[in-house]
């Protein structure tokens, strides 16, 4: 529905495309407001409607409320992250970045620092399932890339003896930990030094001798 309240004319496909554009516009508006307000706490359905020039009831045609809008943004975030992680698996990018492990780590890092408020929302919104079949498909796609990266890049992890996901869990934990510390200002030197530590982290994880059995041989 356009801003003047009149119905959208055209074929069913055209109307569907117009509704999808509006949905994307509402989500983009919420992200813009979060950047301006330093987080999603002050983002409301009304502020999103005002930003795009629609009335509040129009927003409720797409989202039951703020919670539903935030859940959708979590899915959008993981979809974008999965795309970036997937691109990082391209041989050309891996060669430029210095290997698959660092290429994926850099893609993860850059996504988080490009939109820190969305990144925080993705990892903090309550009652969004993870580690189960009910987890968002986009989040499971990200995890699958991390799992394949860990299996190929750090197969020597002792954690791999626990189950097929343990290596990815540890890789995600390391990346998320470093990113979160940098975003929260808990690492001296800020993002510049944090980016250097990211390189060291991947090198540290990639040292097979770290996992050698000290009782062997």
CB atoms closer than 10 angstroms to residue 207: 11
Q: Are 167 and 104 in contact (CB under 8 A)?
A: no
User: What predicted TM-score, i.e. pTM, was given to this entire model?
Assistant: 0.88
Contact 167, 147 (CB under 8 A): yes
Give the residue-averaged pLDDT of 71-91.
97
User: Would the CA dihedral through 39, 42, 45, 51 be positive or negative?
Assistant: negative
Give the model's pLDDT for residue 63: 97
pLDDT of residue 9: 65
Alpha-carbon torsion (135, 139, 145, 146), positive or negative? negative
Inform me whether the pLDDT recorded for 216 exceeds 50.
no
From residue 47, alpha-carbon distances to 5, 29, 39, 43, 184 in Å are 18, 9, 13, 6, 26
């Amino acid at each position: 529905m356009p801003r003047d309240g009149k119905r959208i004319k055209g074929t069913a496909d055209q109307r569907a495309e117009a509704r999808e554009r509006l949905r994307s516009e509402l989500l983009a508006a919420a992200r813009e407001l979060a950047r301006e307000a330093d987080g999603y706490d002050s983002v409301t359905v009304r502020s999103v409607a005002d930003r795009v020039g629609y009335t509040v009831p129009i927003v409720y045609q797409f989202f039951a409320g703020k919670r539903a809008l935030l859940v959708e943004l979590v899915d959008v975030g993981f979809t974008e992250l999965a795309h970036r992680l997937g691109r990082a698996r391209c041989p050309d990018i891996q060669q430029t970045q210095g290997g698959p492990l660092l290429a994926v780590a850099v893609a993860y890092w850059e996504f988080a620092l490009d939109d820190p408020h969305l990144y925080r929302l993705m990892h903090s919104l309550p009652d969004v399932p993870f580690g189960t079949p009910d987890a968002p498909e986009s989040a499971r796609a990200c995890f699958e890339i991390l799992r394949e990266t860990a299996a190929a890049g750090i197969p020597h992890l002792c954690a791999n003896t626990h189950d097929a996901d343990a290596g990815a869990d540890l890789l995600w934990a390391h990346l998320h930990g470093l990113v979160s510390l940098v975003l929260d200002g808990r690492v001296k030197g800020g993002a510049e030094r944090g980016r250097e530590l990211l390189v060291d982290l991947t090198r540290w994880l990639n040292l097979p001798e770290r996992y050698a059995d000290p009782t062997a041989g």
